[in-house]
Amino acid sequence: MIGRNSSLSCRRGGLLIGAIGIVLSVTLIGYRDAGLEALGDLAQSGDASISTVRIDADYPGGNIIVERIRGDRVFLRPDLRDTKGWWFYWNFRVRGAAGRTMTFQFTDRNPIGVRGPAVSTDGGATWSWLGRDSVRDASFVYAFPDHVGEVRFAFTVPYLQRDLRRFLDRYRSSPHLAVRRLCRSRKRRSVERIHVGSIDREPKHRIVLTARHHACESMASFALEGFLESVLAEDELGRWYQQNVEVLAIPFVDKDGVEDGDQGKNRRPHDHNRDYGGKSIYPSVIAIKKFVPAWSQGKLKVWIDLHCPWIRGGMNEMIYQVGLANTDCWREQQAFGRILEAVRRGPLVYANDLPFGKSWNTQANYGNQMSSTMWAAKLDGIQLVTTIELPYANVGGQPVTPASARQFGRDLAKALRRYLEGR
């Protein structure tokens, strides 16, 4: 999501579960505004027959505030942290609930997506959509299997550092892949720049792919994987890239936000995708602005910034490009869009664009700030600059999953080849 400001202010209070692991009895009630104090001593039921349910978000990508638990009903909400207004990312685990059926009730606005929560019973390695039938308004019900250890629930399928590591390990010996450090984040994490394709010779073209300017927009990362997979593949498409194009991918522009489980979107004082004008404040954006023009050598032709939109409804359940104000840029976006429509083989259909000046995509939304694509559009020799919004859960009736998002990434790679060959 690159636009949209909500006017709701961030409310504090409740039981913050995150940096500390907390054990809660299922009979525990109340404790709003308990804040960050050590809470372990609140966890007691005095009834040995009632099993202990533990809820926490103390792992990469974790995010939840548990307000109270009454019987088998848990009251909770997303942890907004430094977000301006409301947003909807959350990701927590439940342990000690085997055999029980529990209801998870969100207390503020409804942050459950259109296919219900994503669920993992293997510690976050694989996920599936729980489905609409489990959802009622802002709550969902889950029957924990007997003998299950932990179950994770999240707004969408997370994609974290460990997922990227697993992906890159598959290509460790590839001569078409080089992983370098772009910079260190504010919290001293390494922010990768990944070079794939034609990296052992002078390429004909260079392209940039960025993701996670907004930390929570994880489905975009699966599309990025699908694109990189296509470039690294030992097939006709892969060989074409390996001979002609050097791809620079920045998979986690907001690395700290991704790992810490932040919303990232509308972060105060401004988020990573509003940091490109003037004096930037985030190390990764500063590094991108310095590195890319020097690396380009006049061969940078394409910049694609991958995002996910708002939670539900209308265009938020369609793949679309966000139109730039510059009419030359907009013409190229439309040309690329027509190619993408034509080459598409995956189940997720792209068929829309959001022109500049429509819906949230207005100058008022950006104010005097600059997004990554606005900045990239000014680079020498660049032809196509675009933002692509990939929904979190649903595209025209088709489920968005890691597999279908990767297929969309492959469609993007095919379309970009045709675009570059046509120019």
Peptide bond into 269 cis (omega under 30): yes
Quote the DSSP letter at residue 321.
E
Please, what is the minimum distance in Å from the beta carbon of residue 331 to Zn ion?
24
Nearest approach in angstroms of CB 273 to Zn ion is 6
Report the side by side order of strands in the sheet with 52-56: 23-25, 52-56, 91-95, 150-154, 118-120, 128-129
Q: Can you read off the two tokens belonging to residue 207?
A: 């392209």
**Which residue's CB is nearer to Zn ion, number 2 or number 97?**
2
What is the C-alpha separation between 330 and 59, in angstroms, rounded?
Answer: 41
Stretch 114-133 residues interacting with Zn ion (CB under 5 A): none
Q: Which of residues 284-343 bind Zn ion (CB under 5 A)?
A: 307
CB of 85 to Zn ion, least distance (A): 14
The residue from 81, 214, 255, 344 that contacts Zn ion (CB under 5 A) is 214
Min dist CB 2 to Zn ion, Å, is: 5
Interface residue with Zn ion among 1, 209, 247, 415 (CB under 5 A) is 1
Shorter beta-carbon distance to Zn ion: residue 17 or 393: 393
Cβ atoms of 395 and 407 closer than 8 Å: no
Q: Shortest distance, CB of residue 97 to Zn ion, whole angstroms?
A: 33
How many whole angstroms separate alpha carbon 345 and alpha carbon 154?
29
Q: Does 77 bind Zn ion (CB under 5 A)?
A: no
State in angstroms the smallest separation of the CB of 372 from Zn ion. Answer: 10
Closer CB to Zn ion, 217 or 259, in the complex: 217
Our CB check for Zn ion shows the closer of 301 and 307 to be: 307
What contacts 335, CB < 8 A, 6 or more positions away?
419
SS (H, E, C) 148-168: CCEEEEECCCCCCHHHHHHHH
Smaller CB separation from Zn ion, 242 or 371: 371
**54 vs 214 by CB, closer to Zn ion:** 214
Q: How far apart are CA 117 and CA 99, in angstroms?
A: 19
Q: What is the spatial distance between Cα 261 and Cα 57, in angstroms, rounded to a whole number?
A: 9
Count of residues interacting with Zn ion (CB under 5 A): 5
Nearer to Zn ion, 115 or 214 (CB): 214
Provide the mask over 215-244, with x wherever binding to Zn ion is found by CB under 5 A and - wherever it is not.
--x---------------------------
Residues whose CB is less than 8 angstroms from the CB of residue 386 and which lie 6 or more positions away in sequence, other chains included? 303, 304, 305, 321, 322, 324, 332, 333, 336, 373
Where along the sequence are the contacts to Zn ion (CB under 5 A)? 1-2, 214, 217, 307
